[in-house]
Amino acid sequence: MAFPEDPLGVVVELQLGGSWMDITPHVYARDPIKIERGRRDEGSRADPAVCTLTINNRDGRYSPRNPRSPYYGLLGRNSPVRVYVLLPGGVSYRFVGEVSAWPSRWAPSGADVWIPVQAAGILRRLGQGAQPLRDALRRHIEASVPRPLAYWPLTDGEYAIQGSEVISGAQPARTLGPAGSYYQGQVEWGKGELAPWMDAAVGLPPASRGNLTVGVNPAPAATDGWSVDIVRSGLGSQLVVEMWDTAPRISLDPQICWSLVVGIDGDTSMRLVLGAYDEASSSSMTLALVNVPALYTPGPHHIRLTVTPAPGDDAAWSVMLDGAVVASGVTWPLVRPLAKINTYWVTVTGDGGDTGPLAIGHLTYWGPQTPPAADTWRAVRGHAGERAGRRIERLCAEQGVPLQVTGSLDDTPAMGPQRPATFLDLLATAEDVDGGTLGEARDELALAYRTRTSRYNQGG
């Protein structure tokens, strides 16, 4: 006979040591396997799926701390479990989740020992102790492959006295006073607004001047080229970013300094200057002078200098602003890794006035490979204009969470900038914009998203 006269076979498996193991013979039939999923009590969000079952533990094999168990060292928090039924043509998955605890229970006589297992879908773990995610640009930089050689977000908070490097353990960013002492002329930590959707960064005090400097750990990879990024916001106009290489500073091999000069002449220009310094002399030349009025407008702007080897021991360079190349060329010095990056600011006019607010952040030192500048610029803008479905896809990729999709992610509405929020709240916002349905997959430990338009004309 067919179902329901003949019950379908049920299989319960645990993932142990990376392989799925059938534990069905140890699952008690006296307590039915119960599975709950979806939205409960007319809720607006899908709740974590829950599966309850009872495991026979008379021999102690499912006790995580039992050294005699064949599974010793394999059982623990969030051990994956799945339940499926056997069909004539294959299997039908009913639940995939994680077991968070293995509480043993026993009869007073000692004749029976069991574990009441309560497994939950991936949504439970993703929602536990959740903190707001970093802003979209920091997540973009830290998720890049390869990662940068060094990265100073400069978002250390208003009580900071220096800016931590978060990738390689390089020296922190510190202010350098006129007398050459560190921590003189402090910037305004945690008070610089790059954009409403970005973490507070460094504010440069009004009517002041100073130098925020970082030492770089030289990396062999950087001999094949390097890039430096910085994000700037505000109407204050005078900023110089100096990038010093590792040359020995002798007459036959002078130290090279690449300087991006922003608005130092009080106009809307950006200048790239190449300086050469030995033990007795120095020289400099302007490689590019471009008029970029868009840089002197409210809102964040992304600046990148890229230097790569060119034929004849020359260096090819390009300056990018907001994802587009604004100047490029080839010049003479040999490409070497960087040793130091200085960021000079001047927010005081000649008569002692204030040039206006200025904020900087996300100083990044890349090797020869960088994410496309256009992608970084999209992250600076909080991915404004991104399709709701694509935002769900990107967020899941950044968090390392598998995602199953039904429908076209490009056939979803555009969204505004991504603001700081928890991972699940960001997903829920995108779900609301599209009107789709976000839940858990049944056949793997993953999220599942069905777009709004995919639910139309499903037939039946």
| Contact between residue 154 and residue 163 where contact means Cβ atoms under 8 Å apart | yes
How far, in Å, are 164, 303, 369, 430 from residue 154 at the CA level? 7, 16, 23, 29
Distance from C-alpha of 121 to C-alpha of 97, rounded to nearest angstrom: 4
What are 136's two structure tokens?
Answer: 């979209």
Q: What is the pLDDT of residue 1?
A: 47
3-state class of 408 per DSSP?
Answer: coil
pTM of the complete model? 0.89
Q: What are the residue ranges of helices labelled H in 110-242? A: 122-127, 136-143
Torsion, CA 275, CA 168, CA 163, CA 319, rounded to 10: 40
What per-residue confidence (pLDDT) applies to 5? 58
The CA distances from residue 397 to 144, 329, 454, in Å, are 11, 36, 22
261 Cβ neighbours under 8 A, 6+ residues apart: 239, 240, 270, 271, 272, 273
Q: Where are the domains of the chain?
A: 10-127, 139-380, 388-455
* Cis peptide bond N-terminal to 70, omega within 30: no
Residue 209 in contact with residue 348, Cβ under 8 Å? yes
- The closest of 310, 313, 308, 365 to 342, measured between CA atoms, is 365
CATH number of 10-127: 2.40.10
CA-only gyration radius of the chain, Å: 29
What are the φ/ψ torsions at residue 137 (nearest 5 degrees)?
Answer: -70, -45
Instruction: Report the pLDDT value the prediction gives residue 450, as an integer from 0 to 100.
Output: 96
Q: Please tell me whether residue 41 adopts helix, strand or coil conformation.
A: coil
The predicted structure's pLDDT at residue 351: 64
CATH fold of 139-380 reads Jelly Rolls (2.60.120)
- The angle that helices 136-143 and 388-399 make with each other, rounded to 10 degrees, is 50
What are the pLDDT tens digits along the chain (460 aa)?
Answer: 455 656 679 999 999 999 999 999 999 999 999 999 988 776 778 899 999 999 999 999 999 999 999 999 999 889 999 999 999 889 999 999 999 999 999 999 888 999 999 999 999 999 987 789 999 999 999 999 999 999 999 999 999 999 999 999 899 999 987 767 777 778 999 999 999 999 999 999 888 888 999 999 877 777 899 999 999 998 877 899 999 999 999 999 999 999 999 976 667 899 999 999 999 999 999 999 999 999 988 899 999 999 999 998 899 999 999 999 999 999 999 999 999 999 999 887 766 567 778 999 999 999 999 999 999 999 999 999 999 999 999 999 999 999 999 999 999 999 999 999 999 999 999 999 999 999 999 999 999 999 999 988 665 4
Q: Could you give the CA distance from residue 393 to residue 390 in angstroms, rounded to a whole number? A: 5
The Cα–Cα gap between 56 and 232 comes to 62
- The two domains 10-127 and 139-380 share their CATH topology (first three levels equal): no
pLDDT of residue 105: 95
